[in-house]
Amino acid sequence: MSQINFTLDFEKLKDAVMESELNVIVKSSLVLVLNEYMEMERDRFIKAESHQRTEARQDYRNGYYEREFTMVSGKIRLKVPRTRSGEFSTSVFEKYARCDKALLISMLEMVVNGVSTRKVTKIVEELCGESVSKSMVSNLTKKLDPIVNDWLTDH
């Protein structure tokens, strides 16, 4: 019986995946699912579907606005539905949030483990393909410092 040996060059593999259409397909699917989910949320908030006349209606549709949102897979552009009263808010992301919670949590974990702001920025750029401002990482660090210090003094 013969034996086959082969080695993988992970850098080449990573480059091949990044250059493939897979990332585009994942992002497109994600945008489609999130946009549809936000549309469903608005229907529930209004208590009426599109073009439906009902006594239970709470509000009226008022188009969309576009919003860039950074996730681990990269930056995506969402069509966020809005209502005439402006009271509707989606649960897909927090108001004014520009980054996915998973991305922020991973950044915070790096900071807790002592990774420098510059390295955190570079790692996020490698993961997402998008740049994150140093001030954003610094602000996260400032918010996290008192929590980490309190934890350290308790343990």
- Using one digit for the tens of pLDDT, what is the confidence trace for 76-116? 899 999 999 999 998 887 776 666 766 777 777 777 777 77
Report the C-alpha gap between 116 and 138 in whole angstroms: 10
Instruction: Give the C-alpha separation, 81 to 72, whole Å.
Output: 23
78 alpha carbon, distance to own chain's centre: 11
What's the residue count for the chain? 155
Predicted local distance difference test score (pLDDT) of residue 15 = 66
Digit-coded pLDDT (tens) for 140-155? 777 777 776 776 677 6
Predicted pLDDT of residue 122 = 78
The overall average pLDDT reported for the chain is: 77
Residue 155 has a pLDDT of: 63
pTM of the model: 0.58
Structure-model confidence comparison of residues 28 and 59, the more confident one: 59
Q: Are 64 and 79 in contact (CB under 8 A)?
A: yes
Q: What is the pLDDT of residue 106?
A: 75
Q: Which pLDDT score, from 0 to 100, does residue 107 have?
A: 72
Confidence of residue 46 (pLDDT cuts 50, 70, 90): very high
